[in-house]
Structure 1
Amino acid sequence: MTDRDGDGEWAGDPDRAEEWLTIGTFASRSRLSAKALRLYDRLGLLSPARVDPVSGYRFYRPAQVERARLVALLRQLDMPLATVKEIVALDDTRAAEAVQAYWTGVEERVAAQRTLVHFLRGRLSGRSSEMYEKFEIRTMEVPEQFVLCETRHTLAGDLPAFIGESLGRLEKAAQECGGIAATPFVAYHAEVTQESDGPVESCVPVADGAAARAWAGHQGRAVTARTEPARRLAYTRISKAQVVYPQIIAAYEAVERWIADQGLTIDGPCREVYFADWDTIGPDDEACDIAYPIG
């Protein structure tokens, strides 16, 4: 008995032929192409129930159709294959939660991209000055201070997690070093984007420099203790909502433009000074200073 739907012949007991679907029939029922099914087989995402050892033809069980249709639907969400593989392995309740978590991430990314489009339209249409005018630029004198620091090369997507986790670790350690002596900050020694990984340095000023050196000496190369020289900073204060990319880029550029207009020069890495409790403030509350050392 033969069936030339798709890849070729039936092989096996004719009395049990209804238990097997050729790749062509299965593709039609599952709403996936034969090419996609071969790819999913290679990835271990959706393998045939049997492969004929002689012909190499793939055969599927009717019970596999539901899983295949789920894969097809998830792929319509532009979901990466690795994520699809994780979700189809879950029970229905956890799979539903995973789909919601994935889509929440998509919506957050689209919202950020929509804001970036607005930012780019303003820049490309010559309205950059309007975007900068909403930022008030001030200056401050910061005295010499001793800081505990943690440095890492990180891309933009992992930056928020690193900032929160590293400052948390350093602030806890500061309790063993005389306490936190001034506002924590994050210094950028090079660009941090989706392609450029810094490095970034989280810094917490402490009261006891000797204790800080001793603590840092037991933490590995990423953690250091050093003297931060006295600096004059040009800065603008932004809300929690404005810390989100790309609004924060406009804040940086506003400070850069002010420095250039004043005939001053940038004298060190730019920084974000976090003076508020991030977990308790609202979107419109002041959260951070975007600052450049100036000379």
Structure 2
Amino acid sequence: MTATVPIGEFSRLTYLTIKTLRYYHEIELLEPVSIDPGSGYRFYSTAQVDQAHLIKRLRELNMPLPEIKAVMAAPDQAARDAAIRAHLERMEAELVRTRDVVASLKSLLLPSARISVEYRSVASHPAVAMRKVVAREDCGEWCEYSFGSLYERLAAVDLAPAGPGGATYAPSFFEEDRGEVVTFVPIEARHRDRFDAASVLDLPARRFAIAVHAGPFTDFDRTYGALGSHVAEHDSALTEPIRENYLVGPGDADPTDYRTEVCWPIGRL
């Protein structure tokens, strides 16, 4: 059995202010079951209490109002639950990101550890590769997709990588938050004819100053800052893409175990 109550009573039942209930009516999120034609006073059904509670919790989870409207308009319970689960997954990912940023910020309060820099001359070698101009915010998603595609190509011809996968980042990627990113997986030269020519890239021979970044990418900028400063103070950098080698990366381990070589080009062989 349900009952109809005035807006003030409904406010007490739902812990939503009258001002909020009026606003939700205006945007057609939670509409009263009837409005007195003379006074304009709003009345709600007790059957709407659960809806109001759901809206309140979704707002506490920072779900945008358009998304809440979509949840409330879902054709059935399964569709509604799926929309809520998707938002919760996004929030959980944001919590992980926040945790990592907090840890990184705390590390800034500690004395900087001296970075270990290795110098290495790397010969030219072939790799299967994909390239795309990518915005920084989309880089992680694109790298995940492209590496998946590259390793699938190797598996299709029953080949193992000749070394760890990596990527190069054009200067504009850092300067403008958008630039060409080339993902690659090394192969042996004798196997290059097993791929179409367009998908094989010859990475140029270079001499690098190299530092290893341990852990997730949240404080990647600190490794870049330390290595780049070392190069500026002791060497002469080339204005060309920086190369990263993913010794242990996504798909291989927990983020705390990631190990990434940052390779700063300082000379041609």
Please, what TM-score do these two structures have when normalized by structure 1? 0.69
When residues 281 and 98 of structure 1 are mapped into structure 2, their CA distance, relative to the original with a 3 A threshold, is closer
Q: How does 1:1-295 map to 2 (within 5 A)?
A: 19-41=3-25, 45-50=29-34, 58-82=42-66, 84-85=68-69, 90=77, 101=89, 104-121=92-109, 130-133=111-114, 135-147=115-127, 148-156=129-137, 158-175=138-155, 179=159, 180-189=161-170, 190-191=172-173, 196-206=177-187, 207=189, 208-209=191-192, 211-214=194-197, 216=198, 225-239=200-214, 242-246=215-219, 248-276=220-248, 278-282=250-254, 285=257, 287-295=259-267
The gaps in structure 1 that reach 5 residues or longer are: 1-17, 123-129, 217-223
SS across alignment from 2:135: coil
Q: Distance in 2 between matches of 1:33 and 1:264?
A: 64
Query: Secondary structure at the residue paired with 1:292?
Result: strand
Per mean C-alpha deviation after superposition, the further-off stretch among 264-273 and 177-186 is: 177-186
Going from structure 1 to structure 2, the CA distance change for 1:73 and 1:175 (only over 3 Å counts) comes to: closer
Q: Describe the SS at the equivalent of 1:187.
A: strand
The alpha-carbon distance between structure 1 residues 95 and 165, as it changes in their structure 2 partners (threshold 3 A), is closer
Displacement after TM superposition at 1:100 (Å):
5.7
Bigger share in strand: 2
Q: How many angstroms apart in 2 are the aligned matches of 1:234 and 1:205?
A: 20
RMSD between aligned residues: 3.8
Identity %: 26
In structure 2, the gaps of 5 or more residues are: none
TM-score, structure 2 as length reference: 0.74
Q: Deviations over 1:60-90 (max 9, x none)?
A: 2111112212322332343433554566655
Rounded to whole Å, the distance in 2 between the matches of 1:144 and 1:288 is 20
Shift in CA distance, 227/119, structure 1 to aligned 2, threshold 3 Å: same
Distance 1:198 1:77, change over 3 A: same
Q: How many residues align?
A: 257
